[in-house]
Structure 1
Amino acid sequence: MRVVVTRPEISAKKTAERLRLLGHDPVLLPLSRAMHHPQAAANALALPHSALIVTSAEALRALEAIGSGLKIDGDIKLFAVGEKTAAAARSTGFSNIHTGSGDGEGLADLIAAKLENPDHPLLYLAGKPRAGSLENRLEELGLPVRVAEIYEMIPIEYRLAEIDELVRTRSPQAALLYSRENAFRFFEIFEQYAASFSETAFLCISARTAEAVPAAFRPHVRIAESPDENALFALL
C-alpha cells in the first residue's frame, strides 16, 4: 500500500521504516518543521515550578538544543502525554516520569491525581500551535500552570512540480494525519488535486483531526481508537 506520511521529517523517517517493515510503500511529505526556542526554555526552567508537563517529543528536542547550559533535575516530576513522549524524556535524562493515556485532558486528570496543592505552578513546555485542551482542563481542576512555548511548527512550502510528481506517479491508498493543523495543511496543499485522492483512505489520529477533513472526503476517513501511532497503524 502506498502511504503518505505527513509528520515532521525526524519522526517521519521512523514511521517510514515501520511501514517498510510491514510491506508498505511510504511517501514522506512532512507538512511542517520545528523551530526551537532554547532561550525561552532556559528562562522558563529558571523559575520555580512544581513539575514539568510535555505533550510532544519535540519539546524534549527543544530542551536538548540548550546543550550543556541545561541543568536537568532528573528527580522532578515530569508528566508526559503518552509513552513515546515519556521515552524521549527518559533519553533526555528525566527519571520521575508519569505517563498519560495519550490526550491532553486525560493527562490533566492524571496530574490532578498525583499532585495536591502544589507549592509552585506546573511548567508546561509547549509548542505552537496546540489544541489548548490540557491548559483548559488544568484550569477547571484548579491547578496553576505556566505555559512556555519552547518550539513552534512552521509550515513547509512545496513547489507545484513536487506535488505533481507525488500524485501522478501513483495515487496513494492512504494518508496518515496526525493533528487538526496537519489535516488542514494537507488539504490546503492538495486542494486542486481532489480527483487524485478519490480512493485514498485518510487515517486520523483523533476525532478532532478528522473534523478538519473536508466533507467530500469524510466517507474515506478512519479514526484511530486511541491517539497514538500504534492505533493509527492498526487502520492500515
Structure 2
Amino acid sequence: MQVVVTRPQNAAVRTARKLEALGHETRLLSLAAPEHDVEALKSALAVRHSAIAITSAEVARLFGMVGETLDRHLLTTVFSVGRASAQAAGEAGFRTVLTPEGDGRDLANMIIGHCRDFGMPAEPILYLAGNPRAPAFEARLKEEGIPFRTVECYRMAPRIPKRSETEAALLRPVPDAVLFYSRETARTFFELPPLIEMPERFLSTLMLCMSPNVARGVPQRFAALTVVAIAPNEESLLDLL
C-alpha cells in the first residue's frame, strides 16, 4: 500500500521505517512541527513535586535538552502514556517509568490507583504537557481530587507544506491510506488544496486514526473511509493497514 504519514518530521521518519519493513510505500507529509520551551521545563522541575506525568513522547525528548538540570530528578517516578513516551523517559535516565495501555484517561486512572494504594502525595504531580492536548487526563485527576500542576513545555504548530510538496505526496498517485495521530493534524490535512479542490479523488483513500478523538477531525463526507485503531498507540494504528 502507498501510505501518507502526517506526523512531525522526526517521528515520521521512524514510522516510515516501520512501514517499509512491512512492505508498504511511504510518503512523508508533516503537518505539524514542535516548538519547545526548555526554560519552562527547567522552571517546572525546580518547583517541588511528588511525581512527573507525561502524555507525549515530545515532552520526553525535551528531557535531553536540559542537561544536568535533570540529574537530581532521575529517581522521581514518571507516569507516562504510551511505549514511545516511556521508552524516551527511560533513555533520559529515569529509573521508574510506569505506563498503562491506553490514553490519558487510562494514565489518570493508573495514578488514582497508585494514590489509593500508597496515599495522596504530599506534593502535586507535575504534568509536563503540550498544546494542544486532550482534556481527559486533567479532568479525571480533578474528579478524584488528585493534586497536580500543569506546565506547558511545547506546542505543536501547524505546518502548511508547499503546494508542490502536497501534490507530490497526495496526487502522484493518490495514496491508499493516510495515517492521523492528532485531531489538529487531521483538520489541517483536509484544508490542503487537493482536498478542497478535488475531494472526490480521495473517496477510496482510507483515513486511519489513532483514536476516536482524532477521527473527529475527519469531515463527515469521508466517514465511510475512516477507521479507528483498537488502542490509541502506533502499533494498533499500523495494524489497520
Shorter-chain TM-score range: over 0.9
Given the alignment of the two structures, is residue 117 of structure 1 paired with residue 120 of structure 2, yes or no? yes
Structure 2: gaps spanning 5 or more residues: none
SS at match of 1:126: strand
Q: Deviations over 1:4-60 (max 9, x none)?
A: 001111110010011111110010011111111010000000001010001111101
- The CA deviation at 1:72 is 4.1
SS at match of 1:71: helix
Match of 1:6 in 2: 6
CA gap 1:177/1:134 in 2 versus in 1, 3 angstroms:
same
Given the alignment of the two structures, is residue 173 of structure 1 paired with residue 180 of structure 2, yes or no? no
Match of 2:17 in 1: 17
- The CA deviation at 1:164 is 2.4
Match of 2:202 in 1: 197
How far apart, CA to CA, are the structure 1 residues paired with 2:48 and 2:68?
20
Match of 1:63 in 2: 63
> Given residue 31 of structure 2, which amino acid in structure 1 is its aligned partner?
L
- The CA deviation at 1:182 is 1.6
Q: Percent identity at matched positions?
A: 40
Match of 1:84 in 2: 84
How far apart, CA to CA, are the structure 2 residues paired with 1:148 and 1:181?
20
> Given residue 130 of structure 1, which amino acid in structure 2 is its aligned partner?
R
Given the alignment of the two structures, is residue 218 of structure 1 paired with residue 219 of structure 2, yes or no? no
> Given residue 131 of structure 2, which amino acid in structure 1 is its aligned partner?
K
Q: Deviations over 1:94-136 (max 9, x none)?
A: 0111112221111001001112211011100111110111001
User: Which stretch has the larger CA shift, 94-103 or 136-145?
Assistant: 94-103
How far apart, CA to CA, are the structure 1 residues paired with 2:155 and 2:198?
28
How far apart, CA to CA, are the structure 2 residues paired with 1:27 and 1:72?
42
Q: Deviations over 1:121-178 (max 9, x none)?
A: 1100111110111001100011011001011111112122222233331000000011
Match of 2:157 in 1: 154
User: Which stretch has the larger CA shift, 122-131 or 152-161?
Assistant: 152-161
> Does the CA-based 8 Å contact 2:125-2:148 persist in structure 1?
yes
Match of 1:143 in 2: 146
Match of 2:135 in 1: 132
Match of 1:234 in 2: 239
Structure 1: gaps spanning 5 or more residues: none
> Given residue 74 of structure 1, which amino acid in structure 2 is its aligned partner?
L
How far apart, CA to CA, are the structure 2 residues paired with 1:195 and 1:165?
18
How far apart, CA to CA, are the structure 1 residues paired with 2:228 and 2:41?
34
How far apart, CA to CA, are the structure 2 residues paired with 1:67 and 1:50?
21
> Given residue 33 of structure 1, which amino acid in structure 2 is its aligned partner?
A
Match of 1:42 in 2: 42
TM-score scaled by length of structure 1: 0.96
SS at match of 1:75: coil
> Does the CA-based 8 Å contact 2:50-2:125 persist in structure 1?
yes
How far apart, CA to CA, are the structure 2 residues paired with 1:117 and 1:136?
17
